[in-house]
């Protein structure tokens, strides 16, 4: 029987699932990527959140954290984590899950993921809250394996680099969520039109 055929479990036949969409959410640290991803997935019966940072945190020894200095090992570890996210997203989307991958990405970074996502419904979104809001949200975060203030200079440096016009030109959708609640941002994301 093909992987798309029905499966039998506990004497019941389960029909195959249609592939789920894959959302890719980018934005600076503090943009609300993970919070929005989890709230967005609450609107679907099957949902998987893949934060690239969490995959990177599985490294027990030798992790190379982001910094303003160029570091080939940091770049290599990000490539590995993004490839793992792409492959896991493919597996779950193919099983009918709606998937959200979140990471700080530039428009061209999507090319690392898309070879794994042939024929999937891929939906790239940039969250753009503005520098002041991102800094404020970052300062109030808890649960990171490092102090949030370490990201403050990175957020400032990323602000002029994560240009919505460049994302839009590359086919990304933009949600300016600086004055929105999480629920309002999710509504805006769900209202986006995809071709």
Q: Please say whether the beta carbons of 123 and 23 come within 8 A.
A: yes
Report whether pLDDT(16) > 80.
no
Residues 68-96 pLDDT 10s: 778 899 999 999 999 999 999 999 999 99
Burial class (CB in 10 A: 0-12, 13-18, 19+), 42: exposed
Residues 102-150 pLDDT 10s: 999 999 999 999 999 999 999 999 999 999 999 988 888 776 666 667 7
Q: What is the distance between the alpha carbons of residues 77 and 55, in angstroms, rounded to a whole number?
A: 10
Map out the domains of the chain with their CATH numbers: 21-190 (3.40.50.300)
DSSP structure string for 47-77: EEEEEHHHHHTT--S------SS--HHHHHH
Which stretches of 95-175 are DSSP H helices?
Answer: 110-113, 131-139, 152-158, 164-169
- Name the pTM for this structure: 0.86
Q: Please say whether the beta carbons of 98 and 46 come within 8 A.
A: yes
């Amino acid at each position: 029987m093909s992987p798309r055929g029905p499966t039998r479990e506990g004497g019941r036949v389960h029909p195959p699932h249609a592939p789920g969409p894959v959302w890719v959410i980018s934005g600076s640290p503090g943009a609300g990527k993970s919070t929005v991803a989890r709230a967005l997935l609450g609107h679907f019966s099957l949902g998987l959140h893949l934060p690239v940072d969490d995959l990177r945190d599985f490294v027990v020894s030798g992790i190379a954290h982001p910094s303003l200095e160029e570091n080939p090992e940091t770049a290599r570890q990000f490539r590995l984590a993004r490839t793992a996210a792409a492959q896991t997203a493919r597996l779950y989307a193919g099983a009918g899950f709606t998937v959200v991958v979140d990471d700080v990405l530039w428009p061209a970074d999507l090319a690392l993921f898309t070879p794994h996502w042939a024929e999937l419904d891929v939906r790239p979104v940039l969250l753009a809250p503005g520098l002041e809001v991102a800094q404020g949200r970052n300062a109030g975060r808890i649960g990171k394996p490092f102090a949030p203030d370490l990201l403050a200079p990175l957020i400032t440096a990323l602000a002029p680099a994560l240009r919505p016009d460049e994302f839009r030109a590359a086919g990304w959708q933009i949600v300016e969520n600086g004055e929105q609640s999480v629920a309002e941002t999710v509504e805006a994301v769900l209202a986006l039109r995809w071709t």
